[in-house]
Structure 1
Amino acid sequence: MKQAAATNNNLQPRRNRLQPTWTGWLFISIAVIMICAFYFYPMIQALLLSFKTGTGANIHYTGLDNYKRLFTDTVFLTALKNTFLYLIVQVPIMIVLALFISVLLNDSKLRFKGFFRTAIFLPCVTSLVAYSVVFKYLFGGDGLVNKLFMNLHLISEPIQWITDPFWAKITIIIAITWRWTGYNMIFYLSALQNIDSSIYEAARIDGASPIRQFFTITIPLLKPIILFTSITSTIGTLQLFDEVVNITKGGPGNATLSISQYIYNLSFKYTPDFGYAATVSYSIVVLIVLLSIIQFKAAGDKK
């Protein structure tokens, strides 16, 4: 009898722990309702809208017509090509640059580290519109960049950074690299500070050079962070909008048009076609999923 009573007493706290706490569920339910109302519900409505066409009250279902239109839409294909160009060129440069800077700023012998870290991180907290407008004037035909290059005798005539198709793309790539390098640097810097210094000391005792330490210790240990920043940078580049709109307006002749700007044009600039705009927006979703899977596979992450 005493053993049975003791067993019942031991089971009682467990039963109490398993009982739902309505206060906790109340707080969770508020968050769930807000997320469903402002996140999942619009996503579902946008998906349903992508199967429709028309304007105003005349909108109606057309099946997969909008998705078939994607493959014959020359403007969309141009925007897709431009966005992939930004992705392929800018993201690797930014990741390598952020990693290189973080290693330099993690040096214990470096003075004024706080100042340099703050200075490099500041661009990513500036206003998207404000910095885009500044870049537009800096890289204008008579902007500071051309004047500086001409004073240094690097060029004989101004470069048309905004109006030339090639240089306009370069300007966009420079702008987004300048803004987001510091953002990725913070992740690498945080990860580097969590690496045990004894690992590097052991490598130095074994005669490993700094370059070999970087490729055999730093890179493998930073692999999860590199994968994370690569995926987030890919998502951000596929959603590129502010820089293109404010610096080049998608020109010249759609040479810098991004997918997000094309969605905006379909919705508010051209004759409103919200159904097809939703279809184009879901093309970004598909691209993000596919590229994320590829990056996970390339990194050898099985989870």
Structure 2
Amino acid sequence: MRTKSYIPYLFLTPAIVLFAIFMVYPILYSFLLSFQTSQGGEMTFAGLDNYRRLFSDDIFFTALKNTFVLLVVQVPIMLFGAIVLASMLNSIKRWKGLFRVSFFMPAVTSLVAYSIIFSIMLMEDGLINQFLGALGIKAIPWLSDPIWAKAALILAMTWRWTGYNMVIFLAAMQNIPESLYEAASLDGAGRFKQFFAVTIPQLKPVILFTAILSTIGTLQLFDEPYTLTKGGPSDATLTIGMYLYQTGFRYFDFGYASTLAYVIVVLIAVVSFIQFKWTEEKA
């Protein structure tokens, strides 16, 4: 009997070993690296020097500000658009599957591929500016102006992730009991009022879930600014994730890069905690 009790653990051993090698070890090693600095090609213990360096690093604060601007502006727009689209799809009877697949398709598109396509479309003489020119509107410097570069990132990210969140909201809406809508209708509530009085309250746990996922994704944002704007112009779209990459793999300052990685972890934990608390208070 005792021998049989160890059999399940034997089957789990390969997965546990791989998890320890490729997940646990890198996490622990990067944590140790955050307390080290490179001197003469060798890593030496530096205590909290890397963490102190953060407070005097102007580029870090620029990247932090850019990341939070994208978080505060893009995530609410995307989630609101996803809820509206899900509500529209939930109310139609025909072609629901076709529309659902069409809106979800951007989410399965390669990050690099869609970023390159958007960079081509948003060029000075790109498709979007040509269209605006046909309407008599002056060309917009999407990728060369700091404000418009952020707008380009927001536009690209919203296009890609709205459909992904829409599918999640649609699945949640289909589980809302029809009796709630019938009761609201008997009380004289129209579709608009039902949306805010029934649909939104029932979606609160799902909204929290998607908001946290979107927050984590935005705080780790790398692919879009790297391929679309290269962090420019003048670091206007440089994110923390991109700054981490540059520090570690362009300047080979792995100690400071590890510090940035753990700062991202702390930021994600703090923002997620605030979202949880805010949702509890509103419930």
How does the TM-score come out when normalised to structure 1?
0.89
Residue 296 of structure 1 is aligned with which of 272, 276, 283?
276
Structure 1 counterpart SS, 2:65: helix
The one-letter amino acid paired with 2:120 is: Y
Q: Partners in 2 of 1:46 and 1:277 — Cα distance?
A: 9
Residue 251 of structure 1 is aligned with which of 218, 228, 232?
232
Residue 69 of structure 1 is aligned with which of 37, 53, 57?
53
Provide, for residues 220-255 of structure 1, a one-character-per-residue CA deviation record: whole Å limited to 9, x for no partner.
Answer: 111111000000000000011111011110011111
Provide, for residues 189-215 of structure 1, a one-character-per-residue CA deviation record: whole Å limited to 9, x for no partner.
Answer: 111111121221222122222122112
Report percent identity of matched pairs: 52
Provide, for residues 255-289 of structure 1, a one-character-per-residue CA deviation record: whole Å limited to 9, x for no partner.
Answer: 1101111111112223x100001101111001000
Structure 1 position 38, deviation (Å): 1.5
The one-letter amino acid paired with 1:33 is: V
Structure 1 partner of 2:11: 27
Structure 1 partner of 2:98: 115
Structure 1 partner of 2:219: 238
Ranges in structure 2 where 5+ consecutive residues have no aligned partner: none
Change (3 A) 1:22 1:301: farther
Alignment of 1:202 onto 2:183 = yes
Structure 1 position 24, deviation (Å): 2.4
- The count of corresponding residues between Structure 1 and Structure 2 is 282
Residue pair 1:245, 1:261 contacting (<8 A) in 2 also: yes
Instruction: Name which one, 1 or 2, has greater alpha-carbon Rg.
Output: 1
Structure 1 position 137, deviation (Å): 0.6
Structure 1 position 19, deviation (Å): 9.7
Change (3 A) 1:201 1:19: farther
Structure 2 partner of 1:5: none
Q: Partners in 2 of 1:20 and 1:228 — Cα distance?
A: 40
Provide, for residues 93-120 of structure 1, a one-character-per-residue CA deviation record: whole Å limited to 9, x for no partner.
Answer: 111110111011111x442111111111
Residue pair 1:55, 1:273 contacting (<8 A) in 2 also: no
Structure 1 position 131, deviation (Å): 0.3
Range with greater deviation from structure 2 (97-106 or 205-214): 205-214
Q: Partners in 1 of 2:281 and 2:262 — Cα distance?
A: 26
Structure 2 partner of 1:145: 128
Structure 2 counterpart SS, 1:255: coil
1:33-44 maps to which residues of 2 (within 5 A)?
Answer: 33-44=17-28
Residue 184 of structure 1 is aligned with which of 165, 170, 185?
165
Structure 1 counterpart SS, 2:16: helix
Structure 2 partner of 1:3: none
1:163-174 maps to which residues of 2 (within 5 A)?
Answer: 163-174=144-155
Ranges in structure 1 where 5+ consecutive residues have no aligned partner: 1-15
Structure 2 partner of 1:287: 267
Structure 2 counterpart SS, 1:214: helix
How does the TM-score come out when normalised to structure 2?
0.95
Structure 2 partner of 1:58: 42
Q: Partners in 1 of 2:257 and 2:166 — Cα distance?
A: 34
Moved over 4 A (4+): none
